[in-house]
Amino acid sequence: MVSEQDPRVRRWGAVCEAVALLLGPYAEVVLHDPDTDRVLAIWNPLTARAPGDPSALGDLDRLDPSGRDVYGPYEKLLADGRRLSSVSAVLREDDERPSAVLCVNLDRTPLERAAAVLSAFGAPTTPRPEPLFEQDWSQRIAHAIGAHVRASGRPVERFTRADRLTVLRELEQARVFTVRRAAPVVAEALRVSRSTVYGLLTELRR
């Protein structure tokens, strides 16, 4: 919805349209007349506003001069409850007189929905059913090492000797090493040699 008769719209319209195309359909771009406090043009309107409608901008002289003519992002609410993140910029003529005010209003609804989905996926899980895993010794190895990575904040490549002993102690208590092929799998998962695993096990059992 554009009024192309005004020279300010012809001057700034391409910029406004570019921003609307980049952020659309979730952002409305509005060009205001600070002298008449009316909408000059609007791209991708989020409400029923149209050129000529009141802008309700207020007095530009009361704005903080340290803002350097760009203000925001600040929050706005629509009547239907949608939250907007908004930025306003005062566009000036060569003589520094305010020519127009450009406002970009971004609808936060898609972002909030995406955040809700991610939060749901990241929610705490229930304890795993141990009877299903008690015979899965390879899963026990992965779980023990992965849990220690998270607890220590160190990747496997940076495990200390004490870290490896802690993991092996847990696996020994879970009787993982009664499985004949377990030690090579543990060595590979810990990124060490089999002899290192056997040596640490001997120390633990001693």
Q: What is the pLDDT of residues 80-139, one digit of tens each?
A: 788 899 999 999 888 888 889 999 999 999 888 888 888 877 766 666 555 544 556 788
In a domain, 1, yes or no: no
Residues 69 and 158 in one domain: no
Strand partners, 38: 33, 54
Residue 34 confidence (pLDDT): 87
What's the sign of the alpha-carbon dihedral 52, 49, 90, 17?
negative
Rounded-to-integer distance, Cα 20 and Cα 14, Å: 10
How many domains does the structure of the chain reveal? 2
Beta strands 98-107 and 83-92, pairing class: antiparallel
Nearest CA among 69, 73, 90 for reference residue 27: 73
Residues 132 and 200 in one domain: yes
Other Cβ atoms less than 10 A from the Cβ of 93: the count is 11
**pLDDT mean over 45-55:** 88
Residue 95 confidence (pLDDT): 84
Residues 37 and 101 in one domain: yes
Residues 33 and 59 in one domain: yes
Residues 183 and 90 in one domain: no
Which of 111, 130, 151 lies at the terminal end of a domain, its last residue? 111
Residue 45 confidence (pLDDT): 92
Residue 101 confidence (pLDDT): 93
In a domain, 183, yes or no: yes
Residues 62 and 107 in one domain: yes
pLDDT grade for 76, boundaries at 50, 70 and 90: confident
Q: Provide the domain limits for residue 167.
A: 121-205
Residues 73 and 139 in one domain: no
Percent of the chain with pLDDT over 70: 86
Residue 123 confidence (pLDDT): 66
**pLDDT mean over 61-67:** 57
Residues 138 and 188 in one domain: yes
Beta strands 38-43 and 27-33, pairing class: antiparallel
pLDDT grade for 200, boundaries at 50, 70 and 90: very high
Which of 89, 111, 133 lies at the terminal end of a domain, its last residue? 111
pLDDT grade for 9, boundaries at 50, 70 and 90: very high
What are the helix (H) ranges across the chain?
A: 7-23, 109-121, 130-133, 137-152, 161-173, 182-190, 194-205
Task: Return the DSSP state at 29.
Answer: E
Residues 95 and 125 in one domain: no
Look up the pTM and report it.
0.57
Indicate if the pLDDT at residue 61 is higher than 60. Answer: no
pLDDT grade for 15, boundaries at 50, 70 and 90: very high
Helix (H, G, I), strand (E, B) or coil at 161: helix
Residues 17 and 107 in one domain: yes
Residues 47 and 77 in one domain: yes
Between 65 and 38, residue with greater pLDDT: 38
Rounded-to-integer distance, Cα 145 and Cα 135, Å: 17
The upper half-sphere exposure of residue 89, i.e. CA atoms within 13 Å in the direction of its Cβ, equals 10
In a domain, 149, yes or no: yes
Residues 132 and 185 in one domain: yes
In a domain, 106, yes or no: yes
